[in-house]
Amino acid sequence: MQNKQASNQDPFARYNIMGISGFALAFIDLAFPLSVVTGFSIWVLGLILSIIGVFRKPRGFAIAGIILSIITIIVAIMRSFF
């Protein structure tokens, strides 16, 4: 009976797919600066997914994604001036 109940649970319920995706996109955008259009698109998508992920548990990757997105935009602004 317990095995049947365990198989009914969603195996992805313990993961925050939106938060992990947002973190991954923010990391890719920070680590590999691409063209302006591609970089901006990846940055916006990563930020949106991270913000959505903050409202789901666990929140760790989503918060890290938001922080990386903020760092990325600061680096991009500094890079444009220097």
Per-residue pLDDT for the chain (82 aa), expressed as one digit of tens each? Answer: 455 555 567 776 788 899 999 999 999 988 887 777 788 889 999 999 999 999 988 999 999 999 999 998 898 888 888 7
Please tell me the predicted confidence (pLDDT) of residue 3: 55
Integer Cα distance of 7 and 36 in angstroms = 46
pLDDT of residue 18: 93
Alpha helices in the chain (DSSP H): 2-8, 17-31, 36-54, 60-81
Q: Is 7 within a domain?
A: no
Please count the structural domains in the chain.
1
* Boundaries of domain holding 31: 14-81
Integer Cα distance of 8 and 36 in angstroms: 45
Looking at residue 7, its pLDDT comes to: 54
Q: What angle do CA 46, 49, 55 make, to 5 degrees?
A: 140
The per-residue pLDDT for 44 is: 92
- The answer to whether residue 46 sits within a structural domain is yes
